[in-house]
């Protein structure tokens, strides 16, 4: 065997799927890991865990898994929404506790390692809380705004825990049950639509809700 032939045979063979996997970023691989639970018998438990964690540190929203589970079993769409809501609100309480009692010790870790956290964003949320904490939490819970920043900042700013629970329940419930309603009515056909436009839909509806309440408040004066 010639030296050229030996050199050619000694080169590692990289399969196409391996190349694709190497090209994915860590968030994409985490996204795929979340989706993988849809095919597991522990999918419901995974949904609860991810919903809880996303309210304080986890970067992938639970809607991803909720939609995948609902595609497989549309009749359980509202059960998945209920689990997501309860677990997410509980995670919000945990985030509030982190901000209230542990933020001084954990802040450097959050700012360095948790996607979505920055000093500028955190300071902006603190300003929002000075105006109206309830509306700020509801808006973050319903829209694609990183919810974990708001739950932790609520503890740092000593926002009443009851305010956090009520606003989170309304916002998270509205978001997750909206997904459930669409999946229950349209089934698998709705998956691509929600994957592409869920964030825009929630932003639009959130603006309409806030605008509507502002108009009602203005008319009542």
**Domain around 114:** 3-220
The span from the CA of 82 to the CA of 89, in Å, is 11
The span from the CA of 191 to the CA of 213, in Å, is 31
pLDDT at position 74, please? 87
Q: Which residue has the tokens 């309210």?
A: 55
Query: Span 11-15, mean pLDDT?
Result: 41
Assign residue 158 a region: left if phi > 0, alpha if psi is -120 to 50, beta otherwise? left
The span from the CA of 213 to the CA of 203, in Å, is 16
pLDDT at position 189, please? 72
pTM (predicted TM-score): 0.78
Summary mean pLDDT of the chain = 80
The two tokens of residue 53 are 């964690």
**Does residue 212 register a pLDDT over 60?**
no
Q: In the chain, how many domains are there?
A: 1
pLDDT per residue as tens digits for the range 101-146: 999 999 999 998 888 788 888 889 998 898 889 989 998 898 878 8
C-alpha 8: how far from chain center = 47
* DSSP reduced 3-state for 4: helix
Nearest alpha-carbon partner for 92 in 177, 166, 153, 168: 168
Residue % of the chain over a pLDDT of 90: 40
The two tokens of residue 72 are 């497989």
């Amino acid at each position: 065997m010639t030296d050229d032939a030996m050199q050619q045979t000694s080169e590692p063979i990289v399969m196409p799927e391996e190349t694709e996997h190497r090209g994915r970023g860590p968030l994409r691989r985490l996204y795929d890991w979340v989706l993988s639970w849809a095919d597991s018998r522990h999918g419901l438990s995974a949904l609860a865990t991810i919903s809880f964690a996303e309210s304080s540190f986890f970067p992938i929203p639970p809607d991803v898994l909720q939609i995948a589970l609902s595609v497989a079993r549309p009749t359980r769409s509202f059960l998945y929404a209920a689990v997501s809501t309860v677990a997410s609100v509980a995670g919000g309480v945990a985030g509030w506790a982190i901000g209230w009692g542990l933020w001084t010790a954990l802040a450097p870790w959050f700012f360095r390692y948790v996607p979505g956290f920055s000093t500028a964003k955190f300071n902006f949320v603190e300003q929002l809380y000075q105006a109206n904490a309830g509306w700020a939490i509801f808006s973050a819970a319903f829209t694609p705004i990183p919810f974990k920043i708001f739950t932790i900042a609520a503890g740092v700013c000593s926002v009443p825990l009851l305010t956090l629970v009520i606003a989170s329940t309304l916002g998270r419930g509205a978001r997750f049950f909206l997904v459930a309603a669409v999946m229950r009515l349209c089934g698998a056909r709705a998956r691509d639509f929600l994957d592409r436009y869920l964030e825009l839909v929630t932003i639009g509806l959130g603006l309409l809700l806030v605008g509507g309440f502002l108009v009602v408040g203005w008319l009542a004066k």
